[in-house]
Amino acid sequence: MTRNGALKLPGIRDAAVALPPMLAGRSVVLVGLMGAGKTSIGRRLAARLGLPFRDADAEIELAAGCTIPEIFERYGEREFRAGERRVIARLLAGEPLVLATGGGAFMDPATRAAIRRDAVSIWLRCDLPTLLRRVAGRTHRPLLNDADPEEVLARLMAQRHAVYAEADVIVECDDEPPDTTTARVLEALLAWRQPRRLTVALPSVTYDVAVGAGLLARAGALLAPVLPQKRAFVVTDETVAALHLPALLASLEQTGFTATALVVPPGERSKRLDQFEHLTDRLLAEGVERRSAVLALGGGVVGDLAGFVAAATLRGLPFVQVPTTLLAQVDSSVGGKTGINTRHGKNLLGAFHQPHMVIADTATLATLPVRELRAGYAEIAKAGLIGDAAFFAWCEAHAAALLGSDAAVLAEGVLRAAAFKAQVVGDDEREERPSGGRALLNLGHTFGHALEAELGFGTILHGEAVAAGIGLAFRLSARLGLCDAAEAERVVAHFEAAGLPAELSHLNRRLSAERLVAHMRRDKKTRDGRLTLILVRGIGDAFTQDDVPAGEVAKLLRAEGCEA
């Protein structure tokens, strides 16, 4: 032990390595087939981590007062597994330790849940020839006593590998000295990063949003505990499919999912009835069942479309959001709103359909054009502008780093914005409070949707339209005497500094105030033909204003450069 509390770890460049804070208080559990070396590696790993070591099989024999072969012979495998479950739960409930488990222990759902809650699991994955060499001639393995070892191991690999793949860390183990394998296991353990999670708690359902880099490769392991069936239909678009679909499909396959990809054209043109019909027809033709899941891999368009498909098919299929744009990660993937566009406006057909989980892999954001990243940032800043002035101040301080793809700042921004939305949605799941609650999330959206409809969906990005809309909402509030004009200019200046079109003049298009107001009258929040807008008393203090005079809106638009 070094003076700073780090552990001296032989075999890894002879360097002092401090344990990551996320490992504090957690046990380490080794899983894998017989012959994987769980006991020999576990003892060495425990010594290097300064933790006690326990072997689950030895603890079971101690508790039962007889050997494992005797337990199998007297009571059968069923009773052995029940005792194994109790022993592992007892061990994990105590102080942190390194635990080697029997080959079948991780197959038990209750045991997996206990390990997932209290420990970091490591799968020691070996190929069949290596395992055969290691178990040859051993008579204390009940499953090998009356059958050909190669056949038994091949069968167990087919049965168990998809479940072992749910482990937090996977290490390939060759026929090498145990110290060499231990060093690689330790290196992988120290590199492990648990996804950051927030819980969306609603009256109808509770689900997690997982945020972190590299989560596509872990998607199968994350989803296996929360989906009712290992059958999935992945809806994505052509652009995202080329970038991220192989990683997601490989992860699903590794954990035993049967996955089918359904690919649509990119952009807003896919968010229409014809694509909705195409996807629902494909699902039914493929024999989708009510326990089969729909996974949305992509941005907000894919999430809205796939979610509506999941909501409508068989009156509701399990649904997962795997957002790959910043806008979708912080906004559209959380809250359960789904929908498609019509010639009458945006998102006028849809349903509330909550996901079973949201997996936000921040590494996918590295593939985004700068314009897309900026558009997503508008929704992050919006969270602070609605109800958290301190968070907006954080945005002002960190926007440059976030838009420069600083990994830590990006993850923090995604998590904080998603957490804000989760809190709002939790208080008003189905937007039933017209004067507050979830409706406040529409700050800037009525103006923004009008701009999208006028300019053409896809011509202006949704986040860009929202940024312009927020600027208009603040300036209208100032014109109506609701907030200080300096607050409005501060917001507009911040969006401009972030490269967003906070003023209509930045759109480089001739716009009609009359036509924009007409689009706004068709907004879903309109009541009896009267404009309802989200306005502000200042930064962090948004509210719903009914019956906003259309004439005042038109005056503002003309002042911003629109034609009459």
Q: Which residues are catalytic?
A: 315, 337, 379, 421, 431, 438, 442, 445, 449, 462
The span from the CA of 219 to the CA of 8, in Å, is 34
Structure tokens at 448: 């923004």
Is 251:220 a contact under the CB 8 Å cutoff? yes
In one letter, which amino acid is 218? R
Show the DSSP H helices in 212-257 as ranges: 219-223, 238-254
CB atoms within 10 A of CB 142: 16
The span from the CA of 33 to the CA of 266, in Å, is 44
Is 509:526 a contact under the CB 8 Å cutoff? no
Backbone angles phi, psi at 383, to 5 degrees: -60, -45
Q: The sheet that has 169-172: what strands, in order across it?
A: 53-55, 98-100, 27-31, 119-125, 169-172
3-state secondary structure 179-220: HHHHHHHHHHHHHCCCCEEEEEECCCCEEEEEEECCHHHHHH
The three-class DSSP label of residue 266 is coil
Structure tokens at 300: 């907000």
**DSSP character for 18?**
P
Structure tokens at 47: 């010594």
Is 207:33 a contact under the CB 8 Å cutoff? no
Count, residues in the chain: 564
Closest CA to 329 of 293, 292, 366: 366
The span from the CA of 350 to the CA of 312, in Å, is 9
What dihedral do alpha carbons 227, 228, 233, 239 form, nearest 10°? Answer: 0
Is 467:506 a contact under the CB 8 Å cutoff? no
232 burial level (CB within 10 Å; 0-12, 13-18, 19+): buried
Is residue 486 within a helix (H) or strand (E), and if so which, with residue range? helix 485-497
DSSP lists the bridge partners of residue 197 as 210
Q: At what angle do helices 273-285 and 300-312 cross, to 10 degrees?
A: 50
The span from the CA of 449 to the CA of 516, in Å, is 9
